C-alpha cells in the first residue's frame, strides 16, 4: 500500500518545490494558510476545561512593551 500513491506524492512535491521558488507567492500562501487555520482544537479543549472542570475565568495580563530603553539582550522576562 505504501507505493500505491507514491507517484502522486512525487508530483505534489514537484509542485511544492516550484511554488517555493517564488518567495513572494510562497510567503503569501503560507500566511493565508496560517490565517485560515482557525482555532486549534487544543484551544477549545483548554477553554472547556477552564469553564467546566476548573470553574475559572480568563485573566487579562498586561504585557510591558519593549523598546530600546528597557531591552536587555539575552534576558527574557
CA dihedral 44, 60, 31, 5 (to 10 degrees): -20
- Confidence at residue 70, expressed as pLDDT on a 0 to 100 scale: 63
Global pTM value: 0.44
For the chain, the structural domain boundaries read 6-53
Residues 6+ apart with CB under 8 A from 58: 50
Across the chain, which has 77 residues, the per-10-residue mean pLDDT values are 85 94 93 82 88 92 74 61
Amino acid at each position: 500500500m505504501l507505493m500505491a500513491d507514491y507517484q502522486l506524492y512525487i508530483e505534489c512535491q514537484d509542485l511544492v518545490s516550484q511554488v517555493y521558488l517564488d518567495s513572494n507567492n510562497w510567503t503569501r500562501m503560507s500566511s493565508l494558510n496560517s490565517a485560515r487555520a482557525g482555532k486549534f482544537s487544543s484551544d477549545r479543549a483548554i477553554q472547556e476545561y477552564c469553564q467546566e472542570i476548573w470553574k475559572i475565568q480568563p485573566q487579562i495580563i498586561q504585557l510591558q512593551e519593549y523598546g530600546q530603553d528597557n531591552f536587555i539582550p539575552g534576558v527574557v522576562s
